[in-house]
Amino acid sequence: MEIVFGVLGPVVAWDDEGGPIALKGPRHRAVLARLIIARRRVVPVSVLVEDLWTVPPPDAVGAVRTFVAALRRALEPGRPPRAPARLLVTEGPGYA
């Protein structure tokens, strides 16, 4: 599956047939944008937290994990539960 991303203006994604992929809310899109501009380099969860909130809530790390899980479901809808992600991967302290 090939995915095309648009980052000028709101972050958007299209599947290999040109259909839009639902990316949920602005923080989901902000996480995806940050990972796109990192160009396959690991972005630590702590950096994502700093990017998303001026004053992080107590559950900020859990919220980032929730955003990533939702993005994975949207970007790889056919991936079985618990199967390794191919597009948005966990690497050490963060995601790439």
Q: How confident is the model at residue 81 (pLDDT cuts 50, 70, 90)?
A: confident
Angle at 68 between CA 22 and CA 88, to 5 degrees: 90
Q: Which CATH architecture has domain 27-95?
A: Orthogonal Bundle (1.10)
Q: Is the pLDDT of residue 1 over 80?
A: no
What's the sign of the alpha-carbon dihedral 34, 27, 81, 19? negative
Alpha carbons 32 and 37: distance in angstroms, whole number: 9
Who wins on pLDDT, 1 or 36? 36
Q: Give the residue-averaged pLDDT of 45-58.
A: 98
Three-class SS of 67-96: HHHHHHHHHCCCCCCCCCCCCCCEECCEEC
